Amino acid sequence: MADPFVVVFAVFPDLTQLDFTGPYEVLSRLPKSRTLVASEPGGLITSERGLAFETTRLAEIDRCDLICVPGGPGVTPAMGEPMFLSELKRLAHGAQYVTSVCTGALLLGAAGLLQGKRATTHWAYRDILPLFGAVRTDARVVRDGKVFTGGGVTAGVDFGLTVAAEVAGDAVAQSIQLMIEYDPSPPFDAGSPDTAPPEVLERFNAALADNLSARREAAARAAARLGLS
Amino acid sequence: MADPFVVVFAVFPDLTQLDFTGPYEVLSRLPKSRTLVASEPGGLITSERGLAFETTRLAEIDRCDLICVPGGPGVTPAMGEPMFLSELKRLAHGAQYVTSVCTGALLLGAAGLLQGKRATTHWAYRDILPLFGAVRTDARVVRDGKVFTGGGVTAGVDFGLTVAAEVAGDAVAQSIQLMIEYDPSPPFDAGSPDTAPPEVLERFNAALADNLSARREAAARAAARLGLS
């Protein structure tokens, strides 16, 4: 094992930073690994909340062992970016693990990588998955063969530890969990639509409506380009 | 309330990115707020795992309502940086909330902001807190007056939601929790020294020893400069 295990985070403008940083913090601690953060144009990429960070170019990466695609508002335009999607496809074909967190699953779908696969995504967007031929699965982390998908945003930490255990064994994953003191204790039980107070869920869904239909339309167009509809 | 609620993340080289991104993702979603990410020199700051991101200069920020200091390996040198510490002190004095995540608490301590305060930090470094006159408190999130401290790395999400509820009310915090799907489900129960498998904890502590003593020495020097020893 002279070669490092190469992890690539494939990012894009307007991503949700925590979708990416959760698993980045976990997977970049894998022994004998190398982690790259890459976008289609390279250079500074600005997240949804305004944080700008450096990336390399996807096209400059020959191959990787694991590709991880985070989500965020920028998923909607990115589903219509053929160069970005073709880089995802190229790297995914050579990888041992093809993965996403949050609405990054919609980008795997738009790249044609979820056909026939069980997958999850952020709870609010799960019913888009079947447009890409995926089998919607309501869980925080879902594995189907080489494809691992995580739920919304903070699910990236659970996802990262699950993948770390698969790649390097339980003891390595547990040691990373201890390092990042992942012993969660949420002050409220509002993190899923099943447990959130009804009025919080209702306001959330009302605020989401436009965004959700724009995303569904972009997904339908991407699915049509794949010949799936 | 015409003025926005200003949140400042005070960062430094070699910080742990997730210490910062967890609460950043939560607090930047507060209504009528503005979030700044600032370092002493400004410009690109590189995290412990290699992610480089843009910051403004602390000296350019007049005041803030909330200051949050994350942790990471860079805390050890930063405890000896008088210009950085004096910026923390200046902004903290005008703020309604003075906060930290992970070993960021040691920087609050080195800036003289924890004297007589109950506080927490990453589990492995908690016994350094009393050097700064703080009262070590073994909890994931601790409040003492205007000072809120969080435990290691991922505690920043619990911390962020606790602070969000304090600043903007429970419904706002719950809506953010639903948005970031914070319904944690760790694949192992290894996130605290009380629950990690003994052999994982033992290896972890062995690997930590040098780092811990360097950090304790830097803290003792900072405490001496404050006249605390």
Contact B203 A175 (CB under 8 A): yes
pLDDT at B90: 98
In chain A, % of residues over pLDDT 70: 99
Judge whether A52 is closer than 8 Å to chain B, CB to CB. Answer: yes
Helices (H) and strands (E) in chain B, counts: 7, 10
Q: What is the 3-state secondary structure (H, E, C) of A132-148?
A: HCCEECCCCEEEECCEE
Judge whether B21 is closer than 8 Å to chain A, CB to CB. Answer: yes
| pLDDT at residue B68 tops 70 | yes
Confidence of residue B163 (pLDDT cuts 50, 70, 90): very high
In chain A, % of residues over pLDDT 90: 97
The pLDDT tens digits of the residues spanning A40-60 come to 999 999 999 999 999 999 999
| pLDDT at residue B1 tops 90 | no
DSSP structure string for A7-21: EEEE--TT--HHHHH
pLDDT at B229: 73
CA angle centred on A13, ends A7 and A14, rounded to 5°: 110
ipTM at complex level: 0.96
Strand pairing report for B118-119 and B135-136: parallel
Nearest CA in chain A to B181: A191
| pLDDT at residue B152 tops 90 | yes
Residue scoring higher pLDDT (A3 or A72): A72
pLDDT at A229: 73
CA separation, residue B128 to residues A89, B17, B120, B214, B220 (Å):
49, 22, 10, 11, 9
Judge whether A198 is closer than 8 Å to chain B, CB to CB. Answer: no
Contacts 24+ apart (CB under 8 A), B200-204: B200/A171, B200/A174, B200/A175, B200/A178, B201/A178, B203/A175, B204/A175, B204/A178, B204/A179, B204/B124
pLDDT at A54: 98
Report the alpha-carbon distance of residue A71 to residue B123 in Å, rounded.
31
Terminal Cα distance for chain A, rounded: 44
Return the bridge partners of A46, or none: A52
| pLDDT at residue A2 tops 90 | no
Mean pLDDT of B152-170: 97
B-contacting residues in A 68-97 (Cβ below 8 Å):
none
CA angle centred on B98, ends B75 and B49, rounded to 5°: 30
Q: Would residue B102 show up in a list of annotated catalytic residues for this protein?
A: yes
The pLDDT tens digits of the residues spanning B76-94 come to 999 999 999 999 999 999 9
The pLDDT tens digits of the residues spanning B179-207 come to 999 999 999 999 999 999 999 999 999 99
Token pair, residue B208, equals: 């930590």
Helices (H) and strands (E) in chain A, counts: 7, 10
Residue A85 DSSP label: H
Judge whether B120 is closer than 8 Å to chain A, CB to CB. Answer: no
Nearest to B196 among A21, A162, A178 (CB): A178
Given a contact cutoff of 8 angstroms between Cβ atoms, the answer to whether B22 and B157 are in contact is: yes
Given a contact cutoff of 8 angstroms between Cβ atoms, the answer to whether A204 and B178 are in contact is: yes
CA angle centred on B83, ends B79 and B89, rounded to 5°: 80
Q: Measure in Å the smallest separation between the Cα of A120 and chain B Cα atoms.
A: 13
Q: Measure in Å the smallest separation between the Cα of A124 and chain B Cα atoms.
A: 9
Model confidence, pTM: 0.96
Residue A53 DSSP label: E
pLDDT at A203: 94
Task: Quote the radius of gyration of chain B (alpha carbons, Å).
Answer: 17
Mean pLDDT of A93-111: 98
Closest to B178 (Cα-Cα) out of A92, A210, A207: A207
Contacts of B158 in chain A (CB under 8 A): 184-187
Confidence of residue A175 (pLDDT cuts 50, 70, 90): very high
* Exposed / middle / buried, residue A145 (Cβ in 10 Å: 0-12, 13-18, 19+): exposed
Judge whether B155 is closer than 8 Å to chain A, CB to CB. Answer: yes
Confidence of residue B75 (pLDDT cuts 50, 70, 90): very high
| pLDDT at residue B15 tops 80 | yes
Report the alpha-carbon distance of residue A170 to residue A210 in Å, rounded.
42
Report the alpha-carbon distance of residue B61 to residue B66 in Å, rounded.
12
Report the alpha-carbon distance of residue B149 to residue B153 in Å, rounded.
12
Mean pLDDT of A154-163: 97
pLDDT at B23: 97
Interface test with B, best of A26, A126, A188 (most B CBs within 10 A): A188
Active-site position among A102, A105, A107, A168 = A102
pLDDT at B2: 62
- What backbone phi and psi angles, to 5 degrees, belong to B34? -135, 130
* Exposed / middle / buried, residue B200 (Cβ in 10 Å: 0-12, 13-18, 19+): buried
